[in-house]
């Protein structure tokens, strides 16, 4: 029965704390790296921090830097118009909140959006071989979470996945 709790047998509050820390890391990575650094160039993060954010987002959420940046830039360029990839005014708040991932995936398949708005994003060996393959990162994340935390890791994974669109 001990294997149900993984390699790290934490208390209830330990699982809560780790979950909150992971969610906070994701929020920082999206806010500081994707939004401020990659999309708007409003700040310059150290290359090691950039790489950590790319890795963390790829693994824990499946976010591909180029796709997120391109879609975000297009959102700003076409804000609240029919061309806005995720406008609550056009699509409706319910659709954007509940089906935001689907809207994101649909726009990520738009090669024109990726080409026009995704310029200046990482295009190195890691990006092409690993980070552009979302399912590899998420699969790795699930395996690591289950090994480290066992059955409670399932809830922790769910918290991580649900937090992204909400926060």
Which residues touch 59 (CB under 8 Å, ≥6 apart)?
137, 138, 140, 141
8 Å CB contact between 100 and 43: no
Q: Which secondary structure element, helix H or strand E, spans residue 34, and what is its range?
A: none
State the pTM of this model.
0.89
Mind listing the pLDDT tens digit for each residue in 122-140? 999 999 998 988 899 999 9
Position 1 pLDDT exceeds 60: no
């Amino acid at each position: 029965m001990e294997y149900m709790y993984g390699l790290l047998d934490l208390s209830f509050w330990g699982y809560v704390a780790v979950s909150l820390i992971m969610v906070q890391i994701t929020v920082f990575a999206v806010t500081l790296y994707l939004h401020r650094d990659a999309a708007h160039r409003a700040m310059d993060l150290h290359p090691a921090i950039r790489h950590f954010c790319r890795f963390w987002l790829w693994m824990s959420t499946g976010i591909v830097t180029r796709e997120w940046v391109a879609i975000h830039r297009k959102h700003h360029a076409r804000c609240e118009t029919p061309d806005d990839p995720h406008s609550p005014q056009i699509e409706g708040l319910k659709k954007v909140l509940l089906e935001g991932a689907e809207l994101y995936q649909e726009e990520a398949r738009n090669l024109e959006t990726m080409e026009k708005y995704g310029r200046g994003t990482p295009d190195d060996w890691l990006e092409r071989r690993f980070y552009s393959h979302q399912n590899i990162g998420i699969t790795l994340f699930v395996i690591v979470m289950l090994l480290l935390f066992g059955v409670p890791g399932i809830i922790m994974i769910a918290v991580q996945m649900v937090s992204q669109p909400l926060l």
